[in-house]
Structure 1
Amino acid sequence: MWNSMSANNCNTYLIDAGARVLIDPGHLTLFEHVNAGLKELDLGPGDIDLILSTHVHPDHVEAVKWFNGTPALFAVNEEDWRLFREMAISLGAGMDVEAYVPDFFLAEGELDVKGLKLEIIHTPGHSPGSVSIYWRERKVLFTGDVIFKEGLGRTDLPGGNGELLKRSIKRLSEFDAEWMLAGHGDVVAGAERVRRNFENVARYWFNFI
């Protein structure tokens, strides 16, 4: 995990278990701290098999461009890809759409990456195509910007929907997770802490969306 609390960058996670999967590479201009972390592991962008984006907001997806020309594949939910293209059109030349074309789309269900099995969960609300990722073998739940430690994702951005976000959070609370790794902020470690975090977020934050 590479945690960033600056410039609204996201947390970036590496799964290295038979396949190397990078989740949410973050802002392009701030990717060097992740690249430095990869170097400490004797890895580089060319060693990554797959990049998964939980959603297409720039603070999560922009650094995908860093991997252009490497063997790494890129995947995102199709609904969010459509949102990304619409955002690119509205922003004009500021977005290079061709640098972010997915190799495939993430669909609900199991994703097998060289024997590494991950479960893709469609969790709309923060964006229409937001996904969460469950690594059942290790009981790890990657929640993107759906839910954080003591907080939840914004719904005032294009495609946001408060009711869908609440449903997504309730759904994620049913997973057997000992680790909750969110798109921003701290990790929630321990099954009881994860359970309480879901309960506390629902009790307090659901009143505001």
Structure 2
Amino acid sequence: MKWERIPVGPIQANAYILSHTDGSCVIFDPGAEGDRIVQHIEKQQLTPLAILLTHAHFDHIGGIHEVRAKWDLPIYLHQQEKEWLTDPTLNGSAYFGGQVIVRHEPTCIAGEQTLQIGAFTFDLLETPGHSPGSISYYCKEVEAVFSGDVLFAGSIGRTDLPGGNYEQLLRSIHDKLLALPEETIVLSGHGRETTIGAEMDTNPFLHGF
């Protein structure tokens, strides 16, 4: 099992492809350039099983239409952000000169649970603060957590968009993400990967909370 990062769109949001040795894969946050993501998967001769969203901001959902035009995949999203897919004000695109609308019905997630999709197993962690329905997907098999815009290398997610809450974000990071093994790779929504241990030691936003 391996992961690949594909920065997409003008904000360079990270889409991820997590693939299994059986040839299947799942797609995290296809935020833009959906055709490019499709071509990458086809080149690797992978069979996608699902789209997993860490949250529903426009730069994480903008490529869904092209991906779904190729494959009829379920879209997993926290139930608190179901309406964000079709509301440019909630998903933030209205503030950045665009109108991102996704009309596909998602499979809504509620509560922390184990999600099994084919050969993939994820522990779902509710990590609100950047947005009300932010989810982090922990995959023990690759010792990685797909954290969206909750935690970055040396930084944390912004909280000045609708539904953001700074104290809640810090609580989510401390209670959920920092509880993971220190060697866990953090695959963030923007920028390079880091580890839980590195952020515990060096992230200035996490000290003194």
Residue aligned with 2:17, SS: strand
Contact 1:48 1:71 in 2 (8 A): no
Which residue of 1 is the match for residue 191 of structure 2?
Answer: 185
| Cα distance between partner residues in 1 of 2:201 and 2:155 | 11
- Offset of 1:71 from its aligned partner? 2.8
Q: How does 1:48-67 map to 2 (within 5 A)?
A: 48-67=48-67
Compute the displacement of 1:60 (Å): 0.4
| Paired residues of 2:132 and 2:163 also in contact (CA < 8 A) | yes
Q: Does the alignment pair 1:145 with 2:146?
A: no
Matches for 1:187-202 after TM superposition, within 5 Å: 187-188=193-194, 193-201=195-203
User: Is the 2:152–2:190 contact (alpha carbons within 8 Å) kept by the matching residues of 1?
Assistant: yes
State the distance in 1 between where 2:61 and 2:166 align.
Answer: 22
Decide whether the 8 Å contact of 1:3 with 1:185 is kept in 2: no
Q: Secondary structure at the match of 1:12?
A: strand
Q: How well do the aligned residues superpose, as a CA RMSD in angstroms?
A: 2.5
1:198 and 1:6, CA in 2 relative to 1: closer, same or farther beyond 3 A?
A: farther
Distance 2:66 2:200 in 1: 34
Identity of aligned residues (%): 28
Q: Give the number of the structure whose residues are more often helix, by fraction.
A: 1
Which residue of structure 1 lines up, in the alignment, with residue 82 of structure 2? 81
Asked if the contact 2:26/2:51 (under 8 Å) is kept, the reply is: yes
Give 1:10's aligned residue.
13
Contact kept, 8 Å, 2:136 with 2:146, in 1: the verdict is yes
TM-score (ref. length: structure 2): 0.82
8 Å contact 2:13–2:59 — kept in the other structure?
yes
Query: TM-score w.r.t. structure 1 length?
Result: 0.82
Task: Give the deviation of 1:181 after TM superposition.
Answer: 0.8
Choose which of 155, 162, 165 in structure 2 pairs with 1:158.
162
Paired residue total = 194
Contact 2:87–2:101 (8 Å) recurs in 1: no
Structure 1 stretches lacking a partner, 5+ long = none
